[in-house]
A = this chain, B = another copy of it.
Amino acid sequence: MHLILDLDSETPIYQQIRDRVVEAIADGELAPGADLPSTRQLGVDLAINFHTVSKAYDLLRREGIIRINRKSGAVVRPDVKQPSGDAGADTDWKRRARTLLAEADVRGLPKADVLEFIRTTLHGFPGGEGGDPGDR
């Protein structure tokens, strides 16, 4: 997992780490069950304080994405990428997606381009289910 941060971004570093880990899991770079680097190690690699990494991992744990063990460190939850049935989280995701799509529309991004970008990104994630049946 190679992880690039933007220290000048308004997005807090711990949030960026959280986002990059989620993307690494979606991309298949981090498989379900895989080990994450230790908070101290990742802190050294990213040249940031390990407390900041800790905060990112704690966020991922609360989101049900990773498991943290005091001894063995952090691992991607084995049941990740499987439907959780958390209706509240689904609703929240859709609300955020709707806002993002509205922004694309308001900024004049052509609907066809947006849809194409999303289709491509989604299908770039490994794993068959819901794949592209022809061109639909």
A102 to B118, CA, bound (A): 11
Interface of A is mostly: helix
Q: State the copy count for this chain.
A: 4
Number of chain A interface residues as a range: 35 or more
CA distance A112 to B100 in the complex (A): 19
Contact of B26 with A106 in the complex, beta carbons under 8 Å: yes
A97 in contact with B117 (CB, 8 Å): yes
Given contacts A83-B108, A84-B107, A106-B80, contact A114 B99 (CB under 8 A): no
The answer to whether B90 and A109 have CB atoms under 8 Å apart is yes
A81 contacts across to B, CB distance below 8 A? 105-106, 108
Closest to A85 in B: B108
Q: Is A45 on the interface with B (CB-CB < 8 A)?
A: no
